[in-house]
Amino acid sequence: MHRFTIGVEEEYQIIDAETRDLVSHVSKIIEGGKAVLSENLKHEMHESVVEMETGICENIQQARQELTDLRRHLVKTAHDQGLRVSGGGTHPFSHWKDNVITKDARYDKIVSDMGDVARSNLIFGLHVHIGIPDREEGIRIQNVMRYFLPHVYALSTNSPFWVGRLTGFKSYRQEVFAKFPRTGLPSYFGSVAEFDAYVNLMVKTGTIDNAKKIWWDLRVHPFYPTIEFRICDMPMTIDETVCLAAIMQSLVAKIYKMHQQNTSYRSYRRLLLTENKWRASKDGIDAHLIDFGKEASVPYRDLLEELLAFIDDVVDDLGCRKEVEYAREICKMGTGADRQLKVFNESGGDLKKVVDYMIYETEKGLI
């Protein structure tokens, strides 16, 4: 089997230990952690966000170990600075206008181009890279994988609040990001040449300066031999991150295996797939997604079982059965959004209690 390597990028909220609000102190985190984490921490557009990256991991067990070690150091570094870090796709009550944009030519250009669309993009995601054999196969995998993105996304939903408001969504993060251009589910491309022609046109017309300005939910990476999943909210727990990464790896391996056997999965129009993404964003694992073959709305949990059955013949070769099947546990306990809402309701609507819970879940087992 091809080496379907894994690389994980997590975007953490930087939170004041007293007020539980976001604070623009990424420099303190990076400076405080440079002895151990200098290669693994990065700035993002807002100074209240810190991105943490693993190296290239050979399997899901190595990914779990790296994520655990890195998060433990990150949590300790934050505590040493009088700060906290947390998972979550959005902060429950912090307002984007109170958060500072990072001083960097790249971010200056984005803000200059997009104004408040960029300034208000105070969101936190999970990005997972899976190694692919080559770009041509990557495009073929991307075409098929679009169908499964809402199914994976529903498990990650973790942003029910926005600037102090109960949004009515399990993942409001995606609704915020949708204001950016070149986001959402990718279109179908018949070949790498067709995709490259699109990118070249965007560059030639001054729309983008490079392919990294394409922010789709899934993309064949412009510089690395990977396919990058970008759709998921940032989870609170390591178990959730590992589960999502294992499912992504298994789906890539399964689709590649089908292609090697000269079979594939039916392709559906982007406008149909976007309906399922909307449903997942709104209701998470409580959604009814459309089964396009049956032309019926089906409870998410039924479709999850179908997904697990679909990848069943590759998970043992990848050594990730336990991690993949943790999806059933997420369905039992609820996604991050479900658990945030439970704390919100039980506390009488206290959003600081929600932040307390998010920090607790993020630090669990590490301090």
pLDDT at 85: 97
Residue 35: predicted pLDDT? 80
Tell the burial category of 255 from Cβ atoms under 10 Å away from its Cβ (0-12, 13-18, 19+): buried
Could you read off the pLDDT of 304-353 as tens digits, one per residue? 999 999 999 999 999 999 999 999 999 999 999 999 999 999 999 999 99
| Mean pLDDT in residue range 26-38 | 87
> Structural domains in the chain?
6-363 (3.30.590.20)
User: What pLDDT sits at residue 37?
Assistant: 83
Indicate if the pLDDT at residue 156 is higher than 90.
yes
Burial 200-239 (b: 16+ CB within 10 A, else e): eebeeeeebeebebbebbbbbbeeeebbbbbbbbbbbbbb
Q: How confident is the model at residue 1 (pLDDT cuts 50, 70, 90)?
A: low
What is the pTM for the complete model shown?
0.96
Q: What is the pLDDT of residue 103?
A: 87
Q: Extract the tokens encoding 59.
A: 């399997």
Closest listed residue to residue 54, CA positions, set 124, 87, 5, 3: 5
Q: Which of 98-112, 162-176, 211-225 has the highest mean pLDDT?
A: 162-176
At residue 266, the pLDDT reads: 83
User: Mean pLDDT across the stretch 238-250?
Assistant: 98
Distance in angstroms (rounded) separating the CA atoms of residues 268 and 281: 19
Q: What is the pLDDT of residue 47?
A: 93
pLDDT digits (tens, 9 = 90+) for 110-151: 999 999 999 999 999 999 999 999 999 999 999 999 999 999
